[in-house]
Structure 1
Amino acid sequence: MTEWDEYKTIFHSLQEDILVTKTDGTIVKVSKGTGDVYDVNADDLIGKSVYDLEKQGLFTPLATPMVVEKKERVTFVQTVGGEKKLLVTALPVFDKNNKLVRVVSYSHDVTELMEIKAGMEEMTEEMERVRKELEYLKQQNESSFIAKSEPMRKIMATANQIAGVDVSVLLLGESGVGKTEIAKMIHEKSERAGGPFIEVNCGAIPESLFEAELFGYESGSFTGAAKGGKKGFAELADQGTLFLDEVGELSLSNQVKVLKLIQEKSFYRVGGRKEIRADFRLVSATNKRLKESVENNLFREDLYFRLNVVPITIPPLRERKEDIVPLIQYALDLFTKRYKRKRTMSREVLHELTELEWRGNVRELTNLIERLVVTSHRSIILPEDLPDNYKAEGKDYSRMNNFEESLPKTLERVERDQLQKARLLYKTTTRMAEVLGISQPSIVRKLKKYGIK
């Protein structure tokens, strides 16, 4: 057997995909395994151009041009027939004058591995999604902020999403809805959680003292100034969060000072000459309609846009009644532990409290529960323990006598209200059916009709 025959025999006995081309892409040698990989007769490939075969859809991309360009070993994933995946390694072959004359490539079928990789990536993404959801639910259980209703769940999801982004947030809503709690939550979930959370009640600071409180002052800068001076809120908030509550109460002159602080993140203490820089995340809150204040020239438009990068409007408690019972239970647990008094709420009291408008929102509800815990004489809080203005007979039922509404509309509204209250008080539709005196399928149908979850 000649040397060439021996080489040829060894070459084909490898049973691997080995392909040799000239630098112009013409195939000069192939192993028998190449035909199996590309599902063609290996001998038919001899003399053909890899560029023509690529145009025919046999494989892509090509090894030859990569090696010709780089003149070194390359490894890449090649697609065969639009489906099969090959891990191809191609090497340059040089003559004695160091001139590139051949390109040798070999491959391994990695289609299954690629599918496994894709599956693993999909599984990893799903696991990350589940992890975040579990973390969110865990935080919900640990948090004092109740978000059972759909509007509040969406707000909490938004707050969680933007917490990690150092962007200005404007919290809008009536007094007592929980703006401060959401501001604290945003801070605690941000990268600034290790820094301070500085709350400034803009409505409680006299206009003449606001600058000194916000920026601080040097010793002797004005009558009554503390010896040694004092740091202001902006300086204290460095590396943390500055929370401007009731920002809508700022006077126009103080609005200018706040705008300059936001824009430059630097300031001078009152009576000082040294510029102080403060790196903080800004969160603001107000119960006013700032847009209307801007239109009435009571609030600067440029400051409004600086504050209103991400607005979050928190609905009043009367518009998210699903949260009332969980909030009552949370407050009851909190105050019974604090005052070491065992108290539970009767179903009648729960019913009465879910009927209220709660103009003071969560703050009013929490204050009432604390009052009931410390003033009631029994372990079970009964309707007679409620203050007079919270009892049923003290409520206004004028809307029941609204003859501007048709009878079918009134009946529909009453039915919806009863279903909502029953849904809050009872866990199962079977129990709701027993209490309301209708069948369980009717309960399910009516809940779907009114969109009650």
Structure 2
Amino acid sequence: MDKKLLEIVFDNLYNGIYVVDGKGVTIGVNKTFEEMSGFSNAELTGRNLRDLVGEDNYFSGSASLLVLERKCPVTATYSTSTNRKFLVKGRPIFNHQGKIEYIINTIWDLTVVHYNHQIDADTARSQILSDDDFITCSEKMSSVIDLALRVAETDSTILLTGESGVGKSLLAKTIHRSSERKQKVLMKINCAAIPESLIESELFGYEGGAFTGADNKGKAGLLEIAKGGTVFLDEISELPLHLQSKLLGVIQDKEFYRVGGREAQRTDIRLIAATNKDLVTLVSEGQFREDLYYRLNVVPIAIPPLRERREDIPTLIQHFTEKYNRKYNSYKKLSENLINQMVSMPWKGNIRELENVVERSIVTTLGDFISWEKVQIPGIENIIPKDIGLKEMLAEQEKEILLQAQKKYKTTRRIAAALGISQATTARKLKAINDTLLDQTETNNDISPHLPE
């Protein structure tokens, strides 16, 4: 295949493409990405992503930088200073020495609203940044996202299953934003949150005077309001049996009747349902209609619990730490021992529980360094880390103290004075620590950092 044809293919792909080298330097982007982002190839090429990522910078995050850190494929979402929301799949290309030579990023545009000059830019950006983000380097979760992106372009009914807190709502939002219906409404309905006496009229609407207290003008239901968009029925197992047959009619015939109505209402919606319960068992127990189950289960997507993708935990901890440091204007950091302990926890509440623990640790712990002794986590407090002796524990504490002092005091002379040790000892210990960190992260420098005296 000649170079000209490769360039034609590169610039005419449906997805955006962003290519960087093993040091995080931008090699180039295709025309699709230019159109998606509003950034030109010329202004990005040659620039290191470390200089492009950050609050009020080009990008709020980077899959490539996570790939360089984790040495594996990463899927992540981030926003841009041009008010766009992207889902990015970064894949490393290794050379013969096993080092990352290139990273190929494939990008999907998740932006729902095309903002214009009449909308305040700060408001638009705050709406984007308030969205939850996907970050994963797990093969299991990457496969889930791949399947979700494939079926997003269709109108097939999807059934999301998984424990509480795994991200079913977030995946439903991603599917909607990747579909042709993205400019229409995503109607989220929690079937367990609406009282049984009201759920039929809320879902299907009612005619004037249909029941005592009803508005004389009648009211459109949520399924009617969502016409043209996507309806996400969360906790579908809690939908009363007598309404399950009515929902079945919506799926099969694309029509329904309002409460008290005689005229069929037509609707054009894409349906996504979710549950944390075993619907097959509920069917066998007579608590869920079998015909509805099969209508919902056209494309089943099972989201794995966090304990089955523990490789995601350190990255998620880092993400949530940065998120709440920004929110509370703090500069806190979790110790390596604490992170290791958190990786081994069961996380029955999954990502939601993990995020809550990180936020609680940041807002309740004094000082910038959060060690495993300080946190209040059920099942982790007062537990001595496994397979680690007193010597190793003390060394880890010393390392964290020195790194914090390095960040605060900058020079070895000031660090030594603050800690009450000699400058020679400070320089020696910090050099050993920084050399180890360089080996672990394979940063771009050929020599270890040198602190000014």
TM-score, normalization by structure 2:
0.58
Aligned to 2:76: 140
> Is residue 303 of structure 2 the alignment partner of residue 314 of structure 1?
yes
Quote the Cα distance in structure 2 between the aligned partners of 1:395 and 1:289.
37
Distance 1:124 1:298, change over 3 A: farther
> Is residue 130 of structure 2 the alignment partner of residue 174 of structure 1?
no
> Is residue 144 of structure 2 the alignment partner of residue 155 of structure 1?
yes
Distance 1:238 1:427, change over 3 A: farther
Distance 1:429 1:337, change over 3 A: closer
Listed one character per residue, the Cα deviations across residues 99-158 of structure 1 (whole Å, up to 9, x for unaligned) are xxxxxxxxxxxxxxxx86xx8667655666695564796882415012211101111111
Aligned to 1:373: 362
> Is residue 332 of structure 2 the alignment partner of residue 343 of structure 1?
yes
Aligned to 1:263: 252
Distance 1:370 1:296, change over 3 A: same
Quote the Cα distance in structure 2 between the aligned partners of 1:175 and 1:272.
37
* Structure 2 residue corresponding to 1:224, chosen from 213, 221, 236: 213
Larger radius of gyration: 1
* Structure 2 residue corresponding to 1:201, chosen from 187, 190, 193: 190
> Is residue 182 of structure 2 the alignment partner of residue 246 of structure 1?
no
* Structure 2 residue corresponding to 1:301, chosen from 278, 283, 290: 290
8 Å contact from structure 1 (residues 241, 283) kept in 2: yes
Aligned to 2:225: 236
AA of the residue aligned to 2:327: R
Aligned to 1:446: none
Distance 1:380 1:306, change over 3 A: same
CA RMSD of aligned residues (A): 3.1
* Structure 2 residue corresponding to 1:323, chosen from 306, 312, 329: 312
Q: Structure 2: where are the runs of 5+ without partners?
A: 19-32, 34-61, 65-74, 79-86, 88-132, 388-434, 442-453
Aligned to 1:286: 275
Listed one character per residue, the Cα deviations across residues 3-46 of structure 1 (whole Å, up to 9, x for unaligned) are xxxxxxxxxxxxxxxxxxxxxxxxxxxxxxxxxxxxxxxxxxxx
8 Å contact from structure 2 (residues 202, 221) kept in 1: yes
Measured after TM superposition, the shift of residue 240 of structure 1 is: 0.7
Quote the Cα distance in structure 2 between the aligned partners of 1:350 and 1:328.
8
Listed one character per residue, the Cα deviations across residues 31-79 of structure 1 (whole Å, up to 9, x for unaligned) are xxxxxxxxxxxxxxxxxxxxxxxxxxxxxxxxxxxxxxxxxxxxxxxxx
SS at match of 1:297: coil
User: Which deviates the most, 200-209 or 221-230?
Assistant: 221-230
SS at match of 2:271: strand
Distance 1:364 1:170, change over 3 A: same
Distance 1:396 1:376, change over 3 A: closer
Quote the Cα distance in structure 2 between the aligned partners of 1:322 and 1:259.
40
Measured after TM superposition, the shift of residue 224 of structure 1 is: 3.4
Distance 1:427 1:149, change over 3 A: farther
SS at match of 1:171: strand
Aligned to 2:46: none
Measured after TM superposition, the shift of residue 217 of structure 1 is: 2.0
Aligned to 2:265: 276
8 Å contact from structure 1 (residues 147, 156) kept in 2: no
Between the aligned residues of both structures, percent identity stands at 42
Distance 1:396 1:340, change over 3 A: closer
Distance 1:246 1:429, change over 3 A: farther
Quote the Cα distance in structure 2 between the aligned partners of 1:147 and 1:267.
40
Quote the Cα distance in structure 1 between the aligned partners of 2:180 and 2:365.
44
Distance 1:396 1:350, change over 3 A: closer
Quote the Cα distance in structure 2 between the aligned partners of 1:320 and 1:188.
25
Distance 1:385 1:232, change over 3 A: farther
AA of the residue aligned to 1:287: N
Quote the Cα distance in structure 2 between the aligned partners of 1:379 and 1:155.
36
8 Å contact from structure 2 (residues 166, 304) kept in 1: yes
User: Which deviates the most, 186-195 or 274-283?
Assistant: 274-283
Distance 1:365 1:263, change over 3 A: same
Measured after TM superposition, the shift of residue 289 of structure 1 is: 1.5
Quote the Cα distance in structure 1 between the aligned partners of 2:309 and 2:241.
35
Quote the Cα distance in structure 2 between the aligned partners of 1:332 and 1:388.
16
Quote the Cα distance in structure 1 between the aligned partners of 2:136 and 2:348.
19
* Structure 2 residue corresponding to 1:364, chosen from 353, 360, 364: 353
Distance 1:430 1:233, change over 3 A: same
SS at match of 1:383: coil
Listed one character per residue, the Cα deviations across residues 359-394 of structure 1 (whole Å, up to 9, x for unaligned) are 000111111112222222222222233115142546
User: Which deviates the most, 311-320 or 361-370?
Assistant: 361-370
Measured after TM superposition, the shift of residue 429 of structure 1 is: 11
Q: Structure 1: where are the runs of 5+ without partners?
A: 1-114, 401-425, 433-453
Quote the Cα distance in structure 1 between the aligned partners of 2:268 and 2:334.
47
8 Å contact from structure 1 (residues 352, 392) kept in 2: no
Listed one character per residue, the Cα deviations across residues 271-317 of structure 1 (whole Å, up to 9, x for unaligned) are 33343222111111111122232233322221111111111110000
Measured after TM superposition, the shift of residue 242 of structure 1 is: 0.2
Quote the Cα distance in structure 1 between the aligned partners of 2:63 and 2:12.
14
| Bigger share in helix | 1
AA of the residue aligned to 2:292: L
8 Å contact from structure 1 (residues 201, 245) kept in 2: yes
Distance 1:305 1:428, change over 3 A: farther
Quote the Cα distance in structure 2 between the aligned partners of 1:266 and 1:360.
37
Aligned residues: 289
